[in-house]
């Protein structure tokens, strides 16, 4: 049996992990994030593809691709979380679980970060566990998806 495809989609500025505000986002680089997600994915029986974009339209296209292929998604929308209704509408078309993740806890930060337009259409949200938020999301998918 082949591994189940899972997309880990990252929004703006996440490609700068390790150098961008390490006191907020930690010291793990984007390359380290990709490695951790793909390795854990293999352990869980997933073929994980990690992507990052600063382009809202590209994120919408990726969410459409996942919906069309019934591909589960771990989504860190970055700043799109708070205002991208286009991304929210694309996420609402999901045909497989979609878990919203955040490295930091948005509710302990600036007021504008307290609102997620994605949360209402996601299967669930995991936030505040650093890069570990991704691992928790992948493990949640492993629990939720049928064998």
CATH architecture under which domain 4-144 falls: 3-Layer(aba) Sandwich (3.40)
Active site residues: 25, 102
Q: What is the dihedral of CA 121, 90, 117, 124, to 10 degrees?
A: 30
Residues within the annotated binding site for substrate? 76, 82, 89, 103-104, 113
- Report the side by side order of strands in the sheet with 4-10: 46-52, 4-10, 73-76, 98-102, 124-127
Sequential pLDDT tens for the chain (147 residues) = 567 999 999 998 787 666 565 565 555 678 999 999 999 999 999 999 999 999 999 999 999 999 999 999 999 998 888 889 999 999 999 999 999 999 988 776 767 666 789 999 999 999 999 999 999 999 999 998 876
């Amino acid at each position: 049996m082949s591994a189940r495809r899972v997309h880990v989609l990252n929004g703006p500025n996440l490609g700068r992990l390790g150098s961008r505000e390490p006191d907020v986002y930690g010291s793990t680089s984007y390359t380290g994030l990709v490695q951790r997600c793909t390795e854990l994915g293999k352990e869980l029986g997933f073929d994980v593809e990690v992507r990052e974009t600063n382009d809202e339209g590209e994120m919408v296209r990726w969410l459409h691709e996942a919906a069309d292929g019934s591909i589960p998604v771990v989504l860190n929308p970055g700043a799109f979380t708070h205002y991208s209704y286009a991304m929210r509408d694309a996420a609402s078309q999901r045909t497989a679980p979609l878990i919203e993740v955040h490295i930091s806890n948005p509710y302990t930060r600036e007021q504008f970060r307290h609102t997620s337009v994605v949360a209402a259409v996601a299967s669930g949200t995991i936030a505040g566990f650093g890069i570990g938020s991704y691992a928790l999301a992948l493990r949640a998918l492993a629990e939720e998806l049928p064998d």
